[in-house]
Amino acid sequence: MLNTKVEQFLNRQVEREEYSANLYISMAVWAEVNGFSGVADWLYAQAEEERLHMLKFVKYINERGGRALIGAVAQPPSDFKNVKSLFEEVLKHEQFISQSINEIIGVCIDERDFTSQNWLQFFVNEQIEEEASVQKIIDKLKLIGDGNLYMLDRDIMSLRTTTAQ
C-alpha cells in the first residue's frame, strides 16, 4: 500500500507533469505562429514526453494501491520575448521539475518507501538528459547571438536526445 504522504507528493507531480505538457504546447504555438516550425516541432515532441511522464505517475500510483488525482492545472504563459528567452524558461522549468523530483525522493526516504524511491530513479536520469539537451540549445543560441535563427530552426530536432518510455 502506498504511503499517504508519498501518494500526495506523487499526485502533485501528476499535476506538474501535466502543466509541463501544457506549457510546452503553449510555447510551441508561439513558435509556430512566429515562423519557427522546427522549434515548434521540438516543443510539441517535448510536450508528448511530458504527457507520458504524467501517465507514468498516474499508473504507478494506481498500481501501488493509491489513487491518481487529475485536478485543475494553471494556465501557462502564451507570450515569449524571443526564442532564446523561451528556451531559458524551458531550462528554468526543467530545473524546477528536477528539484520537485528530488523533493519526492526526500519524502520517500523519510517515509522509508524505498520502492517508490527506486522507481523515481528513472526521472532522476530523465531530468539529467532533459536539462542537458535544453542547455545544448541555449549554448547554440548564444553562439548565434543576434544572427540568423534559420539553421538552428532547421536542425533543432537533431539535437533531441531524450528517450522517455
When binding is defined by CB under 6 A, the residue of 130, 134, 141, 156 that contacts ligand FEO is 130
When binding is defined by CB under 6 A, the residue of 9, 30, 39, 50 that contacts ligand FEO is 50
Confirm or reject binding of residue 153 to ligand FEO (CB under 6 A). Answer: no
Contact of 157 with 38, CB cutoff 8 Å: yes
When binding is defined by CB under 6 A, the residue of 3, 20, 26, 116 that contacts ligand FEO is 20
**Which grid cell sits at 122?**
528513472
C-beta of 159: minimal distance to ligand FEO in Å? 15
Among residues 121, 155, 128, 129, the alpha carbon closest in space to that of 141 is found at 155
Confirm or reject binding of residue 133 to ligand FEO (CB under 6 A). Answer: no
Among residues 119, 127, 121, the alpha carbon closest in space to that of 2 is found at 119
The conformation of residue 77, written as its DSSP 8-state character, comes to P
Query: Which residues in this chain contact ligand FEO in the complex, by CB under 6 A?
Result: 17, 20, 50, 53, 94, 97, 130
